[in-house]
Amino acid sequence: MTAPTTIDLDTELSAVNSILGSIGQSPVTTLGVNTEIQAQTEYTTANGVLTTFAIGFTFESTSQIAVAVAGVTQASASYTISGSNIVFTSAPANNAAVVITKNVETYNTLANPEVSFIYQLLRETNLEVQSEGWVFNTEHHVEFTPTSNKIAIPSNVLQLDVHDDFHVRTTNVVNRGGFLYDRIRHSDGFTDKVCCDVVYLWVFGNLPQPFKRYIIQKAAVRAATQLVSNPTLVQLLQQQEAYARAICMEYECNQGDHSYLGIGDDMSYQTYLPYLGLRR
């Protein structure tokens, strides 16, 4: 049997629709603003030196204009809009297709209070679940190098602590004002690198599948509790949430390679083999 080449993984949109379905609501086709192309002009460059192209249609705002060269959407810094023309800062390559489109906003699904509320629940639940620190978002021995004697903490860091600080008690760090702060020295100044264990926050689409399902089920329980007056539905969703968390724990145990002996990375331990006692 041929293995499937594509798998429909959960995105934020499908996650929101799954939660909406859990509480008996209709799905949405997009999250946020939906746009449609109302006009389009196409060119094919002939000599690789032309920099000015006529837009070819009327528009109300320059924000409606989008430009693509050879199928790649161009950043606004690569061209300017002068009257009814597009002027590139450098000429597109020879024989490249230049497509100018007029994109108009038609509706915004997040303007619906219920959809917006569920989307916010999904994001909050994603943050809460990842804050626990799992094998997929925890990294050890991460070095932070000071800049101007300070160590800035990246915005996607949920937790961090000095590696092996149970044995090395010379540093005790916390996040204070977005910078690493040493509670023992009462200072945020550092001259040397600091090795930390870090828990990161990843976007929903990059999470392992078991955790996506757990976040969806957990958010669905909160949505049903606050939006639907149906205790039976809430209990059913809570059972599904508990099952999804059990799958996450199975994933954590299988992937984490944990050991009660305290064996870390790049270490190994050979247990006692009874047959060695019989070998003479």
Report which residue type is found at 253: C
pLDDT in tens, the chain (280 residues): 455 444 455 789 999 999 999 999 988 888 877 778 888 899 887 666 778 888 888 888 888 899 998 888 888 888 888 888 998 888 888 778 889 998 887 768 888 889 999 999 999 999 999 999 999 999 988 999 999 999 999 999 999 999 876 666 788 899 999 999 999 999 999 999 999 999 999 999 999 999 999 999 999 999 999 999 899 999 999 999 999 999 999 999 999 877 777 666 666 777 777 777 776 5
- Half-sphere CA count of 97, side-chain side, radius 13 A: 10
- pTM of the full structure: 0.71
Which residues contact residue 126 at a Cβ distance below 8 angstroms, ignoring those fewer than 6 apart?
204, 207, 215
Count of other CB atoms within 10 angstroms of residue 48: 11
Let me know: does 52 contact 83? Beta carbons within 8 Å: no
Q: Please choose, from the candidates 25, 16, 29, the residue with its C-alpha nearest in 3D space to the C-alpha of residue 126.
A: 16
Helix count and strand count (H, E) for the chain? 5, 12
Report in angstroms the alpha-carbon separations of 232 from 223, 224, 236, 250.
14, 10, 6, 28
